[in-house]
Structure 1
C-alpha cells in the first residue's frame, strides 16, 4: 500500500479533530472515587452537539495536523507499522461453530483530563474532558514507550493500554464508573481462528463527537445504545431511570476489528481500521480486502452510577449521541497473545484470567495474579 501524500492529511484532518475545542479543566480522581465537579463551558458543549457543519466543523476543516510526537516525529499523522503485515488475504474459512470467542479486560477509572494523546498529541488541555481507564499515566504526552513504562488499573498487569471516553456529567458534575469496567475482546469475524493480537502502538478512535443522532444510531458499532431499567436502544439519554440502587446508565459500543496491516495510526485515526463485512451469499463476517488483518474486536460495556431524573445528564462532548471512545494498545505482547490464542482462537468465553467456567478442562491463560504462568 503506497504511503499517502502528506498534503492529504490537511484534508483528512477535518474528521480527525474529534475533540476540536478547548475543554473543561482536568479533574483528578482515584479509581472508583467521585471527583470534584466542574462544568463544561456552554460554547464547548454547543460546538460538539448535533451534526457536523457548525463553527467547530469549519474550524477543524481549516486546521492541519502539525503536532509531532515521539511516535510520529514528522507530525504528518501517519505512523507506519514496523514491520508491516503483508501477504494476508481475508479469511473466508468457516471453523466449527463456537458461540463465544472472547475474554475480558477489566479496568478501573484512573483520572479525568481535557487531553487526548491520539487526536491532540503533545497538546494538553486541547480536548473536551475525558475519563481514562487502564494505564495510570495516560495524558496528552503519552506515547507507546511512555505507556509501556506506566502502571495500570486493569486486572491483568500486562494490559498497559490506554482506554478513554468523554466524561459523563450530571448537572455539570462528573459521574465516574465505579470499579472495574468490562472491555470485551471478541472475534468480529466468522473465522475466529484467524484473529491475531494487536500490534504494539496501534491506536484508533471509535465514533465521533460530531456525529449526528442518526449516524450514532446507524453506526456499525452501535449495540444497544443508552439503557437503564427497562429502557433500551436509546440514541439520547432516557428522560428518567428508576431511582433504585441497582439501576445504572449503561452503554455498549463496538470497535472496528480489521486492520490494513500498514499503519498504526492515520490522520483521521480511523482509516487504518475497518468493520467486517458480510461475505456475499453467506451470513459470514469477513474483513474487507483493503483491511485484511483480523484483530480483536473491542466492545466497551460501561456502567455509570446515575439514575432518577436524567434531564441534566450530558457528556463533556455534548449530548448522548456524541458518545465515542479511544484505544491505544500498550499490552505486553506475550500476555495479549496468550489471551487471544487461548480465548478467541480457542473459542472460549473467558474472564480476565483467560478462564472459561463452562470449560474448566481448558485451564486459564494467566495465573491467579493475572500474569503469565
Structure 2
C-alpha cells in the first residue's frame, strides 16, 4: 500500500494541469500490418502506453475500485509468464475486425472520470450503447452493442470531431482491428474481462503525437498522408473522407485491469536486441491483441474549422473497455490471430476459405 500511495501522490502532482486541460463539456487491412509499428529500436527501454503525459487523476473512483486507490485488480491474474521470444512460421496477417458503429455522443469518460457525468470533453462512443460516466464491467455486459458480433459488448470511444460547432460522426461500421503486436503471434491471448485503458493523451504535443509508438499514418485525406494535424483542405469528392489509424499497446502486466494513470498496466512491444522481432517487455510479459482504430469521418473541402473536442488533431486519443463474451473473443483470437489469418468480423479469411469461420452467419458462436 505504501508503494501505491507514492504512485498516486506523484500522479496527482503531475496531473493537476492535465485535469484543467481535459476540461468539461460547455479503417480493409493495409500492407502495414507488421508489428514493427511499435517503432522501437534494439535495446531501447520498454515503452509505457504513453511517455510524457499521464491522464488526470480523477476525484471519483470506479465502483470496481474496491479500496479507492486507483488500481483495479484482475480476478484471475496471469503470473509466471515470460515474454514469448520464438519466431513461429511467417504469416503476413494475424488479425480480425470488430466492426462497430457510432451509438451516441456524451461528455463522459468512465475510465478517466468515473461517476462524474459531464466532466469530460465530448466523446463519440461505439460498440456498447449504454456507455456513460457510470459504466462498469457489469453494466456493459447487460447492455446492447452496435458491433456486428453480438458478443462484443465492449465500449470504444474517442473525442468527437467538430466542423465549427457541428459534430461530424463516422457513418456505418468503423474498422477496429485486433492484431498481433508481437512477432510470436501464437502467444497472443484474449483480453481479460474488464480490462480498460487510454491510448495517447489529449495533452500530447504535435511532436509527441508524431513519435508516439501507436502512430501509423497520421491524418489522411485524399492524397495527403502522414499529417500530424488535421489538413486544412481536402479534395471535395463524394468518396473522400478524413481518416486516421492509431494503434494501442498490446503487452499487459498480467495483474491490473486499470491503474491510476489508466495506461501503465499496458506497454508497447519492444524490439529484441540483435533481431527485428517484437517482444513484450519483462515488466508486461502477457501478449494481448493489439487494437488499431481505423476511423473515417464524412468531411472534406475546407477543413479550417475542423477540430477535435480535445483540441488540435494531434490531441487524438481513444479509450477501450473490454466486455467481450469470453468464449466468442477466444474463438476469434485463436482462429484468426493465433491461426495467422486475415479475418473479417465473422472470423473468416476469404483467401483461405478452407479454414472456415470462427462465427456463424449471425456473427455468433456456432
Q: TM-score, normalised by structure 2?
A: 0.89
Matched, 1:332 2:334: no
Question: 1:160, CA displacement in angstroms?
Answer: 0.2
RMSD: 1.7
**Given the superposition, is the C-alpha separation of residues 359 and 316 from structure 1 closer, same or farther in structure 2, using an over 3 Å criterion?**
same
1:101-143 per-residue CA deviation (whole Å, 9 max, x = no partner) reads 0000000000000000000000000000000000000000000
Alignment match of 2:103 (pick from 103, 106, 110): 110
Shift of 1:9: 1.1
Rounded to whole Å, the distance in 1 between the matches of 2:101 and 2:204 is: 27
Structure 1 residue 18: deviation in Å? 9.1
Q: Quote the offset at 1:295 in angstroms.
A: 0.1
Tell me what 2:221 maps to. Answer: 228
Check whether the contact 1:66–1:75 (CA below 8 A) recurs between aligned residues.
no
**Is this contact kept in 1: 2:182–2:280, CA < 8 A?**
yes
Residue 19 (structure 1) shift: 6.6
1:170-213 Cα shifts (integer Å, max 9, x gaps): 01110000000000000000000000000000000000000000
How many Å separate the matches in 1 of 2:106 and 2:9?
27
Residue 257 of structure 2: SS of its match in structure 1? strand
Question: 2 CA distance for matches of 1:4 and 1:144?
Answer: 27
Q: 1:101 to 1:131 in 2, by over 3 A?
A: same
Return the offset for 1:5.
1.9
Q: Which residue of 170, 173, 185 corresponds with 2:178? A: 185
Distance 2:2 2:100 in 1: 36
What pairs up with 1:231-250 in 2 under 5 angstroms?
231-250=224-243
Deviation, 1:76, is 1.5
Q: 1:143 aligns with which of 113, 136, 147?
A: 136
Q: Distance in 1 between matches of 2:76 and 2:109?
A: 26
Per-residue CA deviations over 1:203-235 (Å, capped at 9, x if unaligned) read 000000000000000000000000010000000
User: 2:116 aligns to what?
Assistant: 123
CA distance in 2 between counterparts of 1:4 and 1:20 reads 27
1:69-119 per-residue CA deviation (whole Å, 9 max, x = no partner) reads 221133211001112100000000100000000000000000000000000
Structure 1 residues 246 and 89: alpha-carbon distance in aligned structure 2, compared to 1, 3 A threshold: same
1:286-340 CA-to-partner distances (Å, cap 9, x unmatched) read: 0000000000000000000000000000000000000000000000000000000
Q: 1:239 to 1:66 in 2, by over 3 A?
A: closer
Query: Quick one: distance in 1 between partners of 2:63 and 2:187?
Result: 32
Contact 2:156 2:320 in 1 (8 A): yes
Establish whether residue 259 from structure 1 lines up as the match of residue 252 from structure 2. yes
Distance 2:124 2:217 in 1: 21
Moved over 3 A (4+): 13-19
| Secondary structure of 1:5 counterpart | helix
- Contact 2:22–2:310, Cα closer than 8 Å, also in 1: no
- Paired residues in the alignment total 338
Aligned to 1:23: 25
**Alignment check: 8 A CA contact 1:17 1:119 kept:** no
Change in CA separation of 1:279 and 1:3 when aligned onto 2, cut-off 3 Å? farther
- Stretches of structure 2 that go unaligned for 5 or more consecutive residues are 27-51
Are the equivalent residues in 2 in contact too, given 1:18–1:119 (CA < 8 A)? no
